[in-house]
Amino acid sequence: MPRRKRIAVLISGRGSNLGALLRHDLAGEVVLVGSNRADAGGLALATDAGIATFTLSHRDFATREAFDAALVARLNLAAVDLVVLAGFMRILTPVFTEAFAGRLINIHPSLLPAFPGLDTHARALAEGVKLHGCTVHFVTPELDRGPIIAQAAVQVEDDDTPATLAARVLVQEHQILPWAVRLFCEDRLRIEGLRVRVLPALA
């Protein structure tokens, strides 16, 4: 029987997507949760689940590259197969993205390539889009432009605010992120250029 893949999750806040991962069968094991913020609520969630945690403050490093190198070293110590960015609010440099190329995924609150970066829900409302949503993608050096694994859409209502829209999108995030992680752990994802092909499950 193949070895279950070891997963690290990086967070900066409350860890709601981390909670979703822990509630699902991922065909792999979350073995480490890290944050750049010591007050991130998701760290307690991981501790309660018996998962090792660490904090690495970006403020302790002179450059982004130095922080990323330290982060790579910490994750390599845990021998992780997959790194999941679940609300990790840092722009990562090639020092990090190249170290985990093909093994690094992110959940983003928009239907990429629309609305990369921050404030996605307010921007979607300002643009008057009728559909909004979320995307799970492989991370590359270019911000929010990596090959897309999965997306989920929600209807934008006339009376939506950024908060109400964000809440509905978050429900979808909690569905597609665990699904994408499971596909990775089952070796069912193939990157072909900018596209991701999902292979059928083995009988």
Catalytic positions: 108
Given its phi and psi angles, is residue 193 left (phi above 0), alpha (psi -120 to 50 degrees) or beta? left
Q: Residue 114 and residue 135: Cα distance in Å, rounded?
A: 10
Question: What residue ranges in 86-188 does DSSP mark as E strands?
Answer: 104-108, 131-138, 148-155
Provide Rg for the chain, Cα atoms: 17
Residues 6+ apart with CB under 8 A from 127: none
d(CA 186, CA 18): 19
